[in-house]
Chains A and B, each alone.
Chain A
Amino acid sequence: MSWMAWTPVTASFFSIIAAILACMTFYEIKVPCTERKGFLPIPTTRGDRLFIGLLSSAYVHLLFVGFSEASLFIPLALCVVWLLCLLRWG
């Protein structure tokens, strides 16, 4: 696996993504979800909301990296809160 040039940071990142997907799959099997409408303008499933949350988090991080010198823990904290809100009320 050395050709993949793993680092502890990227390994943690992918582990967290894999864990989220595994938990969502398990939750979906236990409690199948139906499409519903929250504060987002479109009806979404749980998977849709996770996708929207992850994609928007990536853009928030890019904005902070490209146009600010602030610590990345700020967008990380914002995105965790955003993702939780999205999953609950989105």
Chain B
Amino acid sequence: MNKVENNKAWWLVLPVFLLVAFSAVVPLMTVVNYSVQDIFDANTAVFVGVEWYREVLQDSRLQDSLVRQFIYSFAVLLIEVPLGIAVALMMPTKGRMASLCLILLAIPLLIPLNVVGTIWQIFGRADIGLFGWALNSIGIDYNYASNTADAWVTVVLMDVWHWTSLVALLCYSGLRAIPDAFYQAAHIDRASNWAIFRYIQLPRLKSVLVIGILLRFMDSFMIYTEPFVLTGGGPGNSTTFLSQTLTKMAIGQFDLGPAAAFSLIYFLIVLLVSWLFFTTITHMDKDK
């Protein structure tokens, strides 16, 4: 078949192009413009070059937030991905129980972020919350408002509770797409359950896992609402993540220049890590 040289169908991309330009490119350009100026009001701005970038990169408060953010994102990924796969493997494949499991799994995903924070704020309290009360009853001195380790455990558990369902649902859809012939061949070969998982299910889950890991990384790296509602960033600054620091800077102090520089560095980190994840996973198959 000859290639069509003058393909007018490309014009159909124009609305998407305009929408992306309006909602992403123009705001991003504005942030770049703000990041090199000291903005006093809508009409008064002074060019300062890379001064804000230098200030932001040397700010220990932001460096600490960045380290906390990476630890948090990798902790939730390390828990949610294996747990999501395990849940998907254990779910029934057909019948009413399968529908019921799907509905139950979807419930946490439907709850607004600030409500999740509030649920866990109450759930973790030692006086009126079931989780906090139960831990204290068995002799564990748990208080997420005053103990850093407890605050971290609660913030990570909250994220696991909220988002493992997403990974599980993605993996479940991936597992359902595997043809029965693969399993029949494995049974003829007397493959163990582990061998079926390792050589049939896991490779076939790769594409959904790429999407799941990318979504969870980007989401967890930009987390704001849940920890803000649950701990307010405390005790001290122990659960203050990048977006909370950025919000304080941009809205609390109205330092638009440094906040813009910080936003761009934040964007570059998300872009780099997402690209590395995506490239590594998509090239693993090609190397085999």
A residues with CB within 8 A of B: 2-7, 9-10, 13-14, 42-43, 51, 55, 58-59, 62, 65-67, 72
Cross-chain contact B37 with A5 (CB below 8 angstroms):
yes
- Using CB atoms, name the residue of chain A closest to B47: A7
Asked whether any CB of chain A lies closer than 8 Å to the CB of B286, the reply is yes
Interface size class, chain B: 20 to 34
Q: Is the interface of A mostly helix, strand, loop or mixed?
A: helix
Given known A42-B283, A65-B50, A66-B53, contact A4–B268 (CB-CB < 8 A) = no
**Chain A residues near B275 (CB-CB < 8 A):** 51, 55
Cross-chain contact A5 with B57 (CB below 8 angstroms):
no
**Chain A residues near B47 (CB-CB < 8 A):** 7, 9
Binds A, one of B24-32, B82-90, B107-115, B215-223: B24-32
Asked whether any CB of chain A lies closer than 8 Å to the CB of B34, the reply is yes
Q: Is the interface of B mostly helix, strand, loop or mixed?
A: helix
Cross-chain contact A7 with B286 (CB below 8 angstroms):
no
Sample 26 A-B pairs with CB under 8 A, ordered by A number. Answer: A2-B43, A4-B26, A4-B33, A5-B30, A5-B33, A5-B37, A6-B33, A7-B33, A7-B36, A7-B37, A7-B47, A9-B49, A10-B36, A13-B32, A42-B279, A51-B275, A55-B268, A58-B268, A59-B272, A62-B265, A65-B54, A65-B57, A66-B54, A66-B57, A66-B58, A72-B50
Cross-chain contact A62 with B33 (CB below 8 angstroms):
no
**Chain B residues near A2 (CB-CB < 8 A):** 43
Shortest Cβ distance from residue A26 to the other chain B in the assembled complex, whole angstroms: 14
Known contacts A7-B36, A51-B275, A65-B57; 14 additional CB pairs below 8 A are: A2-B43, A3-B30, A4-B33, A7-B33, A9-B49, A10-B32, A10-B33, A42-B283, A59-B268, A62-B57, A65-B54, A66-B57, A67-B57, A72-B50
Cross-chain contact A3 with B42 (CB below 8 angstroms):
yes
Kindly identify which residue among A13, A43, A59, A62 contacts B53, using a CB–CB cutoff of 8 Å: A62
Asked whether any CB of chain A lies closer than 8 Å to the CB of B149, the reply is no
Asked whether any CB of chain A lies closer than 8 Å to the CB of B101, the reply is no
